[in-house]
Chains A and B, each alone.
Chain A
Amino acid sequence: MIQYAWLIPLLPLIGFTIIGFGGKKLSKSLIGLLGSGSVLAAFVMSVLIFTNVHEGDKYIVKVFDWFSAGSLHLDFSFIIDPLTCLFLLIITGIGFLIHVYSTGYMHDDEGFHRFFAYLNLFIFFMLLLVMGSNYVLMFVGWEGVGLCSYLLIGFWFKNTAYNNAAKKAFIMNRIGDLGFLLGIILLFVTVDSLSFADGGVLDKVSAVGRSNHGTMELAALLLFIGACGKSAQIPLFTWLPDAMAGPTPVSALIHAATMVTAGIYMIARSQVVYTMAPMAMETVAIVGALTAIFAATIGLFQNDIKKVLAYSTVSQLGLMFLALGVGATTGAVFHVTTHAFFKALLFLGAGSVIHAMSGEQDIRRMGGLAKKIPITHATFLIGTLAISGIPVLSGFFSKDEILAHAYEHNPVYWIAGIIASVMTAFYMFRLYFLTFKGKFRGTHEQEHHLHESPKSMTIPLMVLAVLSVIGGFIGIPHLFAHDAHWLHHFLGFGDILTLSTDTEWALLVLTLFVVGVSIYAAYRAYVKEGRLPAEKEEQLNPVQRLIYNKYFVDEIYDTLIRKPLDWISEKFYQIVELQIIDGVVNGVGAGVKWVSSVGKYAQSGSVSFYVLAMVLGAIAIGLIKLW
């Protein structure tokens, strides 16, 4: 079975090729069928492979020799191990659901075929990313998903703002990619291999890493820069909220469930490197924690339904990095999984809301939608509960594991995690209440049009809702069941929690308590008191304004990087390029011309002068040579 693993990425690629070349000639239903079908087939393959993979397995499926140069040999081959399998399932599974959802959501869009082509291409690259059996092939997928992200964010390419958002996403990703690439190269230079196969880069690193401490730190940090870009961590996070410009299914698939978690995958894959690099680990944890809190605070003040979710994603990703940083690799991957479920659910739910609201995304214009769109409401509520970490739902288990590990590593991280969680619960319920409770605040016309989404959209919502509820059981902690943590065993990262049961319980209860308080606060504010977010920025106090404007990070980047770059480039062009360098070149030419134009007057036309010159020449020669 496993030797056919190459079919998994190939199927979406075929889908992409057919849809891409067929274009508008194909009917929409055929496109939908092809697009979803290819991913479904990939999903089925993934399941089949998954059933054949057991903990500790590692298979390499070689397709062809890609290229080699000197000691660098790169195969185009795939790795199949538990980590990859898990990601395969998430990508193809959620990918399939979102494809289905999209057939409904994008049905009336003129770029329907294009959309599906891009989605399939994205799935292909994402699969390549997690299946690549060496760093370079991973990088291929890594950049490929970036490209698809670019294409899909700027899907409605007539809109300049969207285009700018797409460009921003691509470029910020590329900043990370450069770090990633340099990290890869550093690893290659150090251990002379990039393959994940046995005896490849990872094994070599674990063998020689101790003696190359500094190199490993550097490599880990460089890789982390890449992860920051892709997974929207400080300081490269600002593209993700802007990326909401793309169609909502894209936000769900790429900017919540899969692509943005590539950074976690990559670090998990490189766990060996990080274990050699404690400082880098600490950096990861700090950045993760900061991002979690920072993004959460911004989320508190956002009024765009997708922006709230976007900041929530950033915050949750921060949490995952925190997990990676404190060594809870399994926890991070676990959270990736559950987050994929509930965040995809939330985004798709948001999409359904937007669909119902005829494109309105501002929660200040919503309210009281619970009755109008019940399925969406119910599933959205499940998602909200899951992300807030309400027990038994998936988010609870994964978040709990991360927090426990954080506490074990350093209580400060635990506190950070708690703060983020509290804020998450608050803004998520704020979002929920404002959207679904209270009175409708939109226009009359919008109210008239309110309707539940078609089946193609609601069914994925329901499936995801179920997954969000039960997804946590793959990693149920010891507290609740004996020998329960299946995921832990399956992945085999060996990051076992050593806290005492009492401590663990205490942490759990404390967490639940503060989250509960937070939810109540939200309830009180937005349901009981019926408060609404300010309509105008002027109504906010300075701190709120600062947060409302996302701490002006975009503006700061603009002022510190983009504008100076433009300015310097322009000045260099005008002054250094045109005046100095070209000026020197032209100046030489002009100089010769000038000398010529002045020198020609020596040719005065007068014989007397010529004779004089001749005599002077003779004198000069005589004086030089004879005296």
Chain B
Amino acid sequence: MKAIIVLSGLGVLALLAELFRFRKILYPLVLIGLAGAAATAISYVWYDDASQWTALMKNMISFDPFAIMMSSVIIITALLWLLSAQGYFKDETTRTDHYALMLFALTGAVILTCYSNMVMLFLGVEMLSIPLYVMAGSRKDNLASNEAALKYFLMGAFATGFLLFGIALIYGATGTFDLGELATFVNSSKTGMGGIFHAGIVMLLVGLLFKISASPFHFWAPDVYQGAHTNVTAFMSTVVKTAAISGFARLFGSSILIKDYEFWAPLLACCAGLTIIVGNVMAVNQNNVKRLLAFSSISHAGFLLIAVVTGSLKGVMFYAAAYSLASLAAFVVLQIIQNHSGDDTIERFNGLGKRSPLLAFTLTLALLSLAGIPVTAGFFGKYYLFMQAFKTGHAWLAVIGIIGSLIGLYYYFRIIIAMYFREAPADAKSAPAANDLQQLLLFITALGIIVIGIMPDLLLNLQP
């Protein structure tokens, strides 16, 4: 809860900067603020005063272990993201607005990790989405950015309708918005849930699946990711994705609807499989690395869904953390290349291994992690999910995951091959280089990928 207060306060503070003219120091200020938020979020791991908030907040939010872990992951990811995103806040006149939007989105993201009432789910989704619509369109004169904003907004609003209809139907069937009461209602029902409730679940699922860009509701994602500013894309594919999946997992990964598991689990499982396959297959032929990463992020949403279906909140957390680290690193390198060459096609990565060995190495590491090669964090994440899938009798899902990973290898390795095997383009100027903050970020992510990969216990045993 404290994190929410800090973040929204920080958002207001950012707006005030315009008035009181401390725009210049806003960047360090937000960094520190985010660090503070991260610290408060993660401090619950050791100082458990989270439960008292729940009552105080009238059961609107609940900082259970999952919420603590996920919000920590999200805020830390955002903090890391900020290290790379100085370029996004370049424009003097709109800087404060962008900070505020980002921070409000982050607030929404944190709400999604800890909501325990449908109202909060709805508010969280909207608080996350509305600033994002704007962020996607932040390059106002750029048609691609416009298109991204339009598509994102229209489809997002449309999906919100489904989400709300679902919530309304569930309310109609159970008479409550509160997740705790909902759980009691579902678990105590003797005859099983009726059609209204199921219709609500389906509608709710449609809305949420859209948010995590699961197939067949994924179509917006590649276009939006491609059109948005690369920093924004990085934000969307890490922070937003993690938030969306935790919003999802709070409902479907926990025990709330477990009595009704037979109804929605097969559906989710199918969606997970479909998402993995679609995301990976579609990425195969992409030449635009940004778009490629977008499809890759779709496929990872599928993997995250496996974790949800198998009811493994820890799996969600671990996978999301691992994925965020790797994805962030990949996007940062992409952004550096893009800034350097003004283009984000795969050819721009040619010969990077020679021109900027460190960038290439980090990107390789990130891609290996995304591909799930030992001993990276991504591998253990996948491994975790496969374990869970086997445990809960979803072996076929694990097999699809395996096949998906293999297809995934193809495009991840295309980039690696381009970096190390292809000659640099003739018009390549100087070597692209990361600035200090980006270097710091890349170092942290690379370290994180390896350390978590080698010692997953560090994360897994972090029990609040």
Contacts and interface: CB of A to CB of B under 8 A. Distances in A.
Direct A–B contact present (CB less than 8 angstroms): yes
Nearest to B159: A614
Given A593-B285, A607-B150, A607-B151, A626 B195 contact: yes
A624 B151 CA distance: 28
B258 interface: no
Contacts of A622: 199, 202
A614 B285 contact: no
B268 to A, nearest CB: 10
Given A596-B284, A625-B263, A607 B198 contact: no
Given A603-B219, A622-B202, A592 B155 contact: no
B216 A597 contact: no
Contacts, number: 74
Interface residues of A, number: 26
Given A593-B284, A621-B202, 8 more contacts: A589-B410, A592-B407, A596-B284, A610-B220, A614-B216, A614-B217, A614-B219, A622-B199
B284 A618 contact: no
B69 to A, nearest CB: 30
Contacts of A603: 219, 222-223, 282
Contact of B206 (A593, A595, A609, A621): A621
A339 to B, nearest CB: 67
A616 to B, nearest CB: 7
A611 B217 contact: no
Given A614-B158, A618-B206, A596 B281 contact: yes
B195 A621 contact: no
Interface in A597-627: 597, 599-600, 602-603, 605, 607, 609-611, 613-614, 616-618, 620-622, 624-626
B143 interface: no
B284 A592 contact: yes
The B interface, classified by DSSP as helix, strand, loop or mixed, is: helix
Interface string B34-54: 000000000000000000000
Contacts of A599: 278, 281-282
B136 to A, nearest CB: 14
B217 A592 contact: no
A610 B267 contact: no
B147 to A, nearest CB: 8
A624 to B, nearest CB: 8
Contacts of B210: 614
B206 A617 contact: yes
B431 interface: no
B272 interface: no
Main secondary structure of the interface of A (DSSP, over half): helix
Contacts of A609: 219
B162 interface: yes
15 contacts: A592-B410, A600-B282, A603-B219, A607-B151, A607-B154, A611-B154, A613-B216, A614-B158, A614-B210, A614-B216, A614-B219, A616-B216, A617-B216, A625-B198, A625-B267
B441 to A, nearest CB: 31
Given A600-B282, A626-B199, A618 B162 contact: yes
A617 B217 contact: yes
Nearest to B222: A603
B205 interface: yes
B463 to A, nearest CB: 36
Contact of A611 (B158, B199, B285): B158
Contacts of B286: 600
Interface string A316-330: 000000000000000
A610 B195 contact: no
A602 B219 CA distance: 9
Interface in B165-206: 195, 198-199, 202-203, 205-206
Contacts of A625: 198, 202, 263-264, 267
B263 A592 contact: no
A592 B216 contact: no
B298 to A, nearest CB: 11
Interface in B279-302: 281-286
Interface string B139-167: 00000000000110011001100100000
A613 B155 CA distance: 11
A506 to B, nearest CB: 85
Interface in B366-413: 407, 410
A504 B210 CA distance: 107
B149 to A, nearest CB: 12
Contacts of A607: 150-151, 154-155
A626 B281 CA distance: 30
B202 A611 contact: no
Contacts of A621: 202, 205-206, 267
Interface in B285-341: 285-286
A614 B155 contact: yes
A129 to B, nearest CB: 53
For the complex of A and B, the 9 pairs showing the least CB-CB separation, nearest first, are: A617-B216, A596-B284, A610-B219, A596-B285, A618-B206, A597-B285, A596-B281, A614-B217, A607-B151
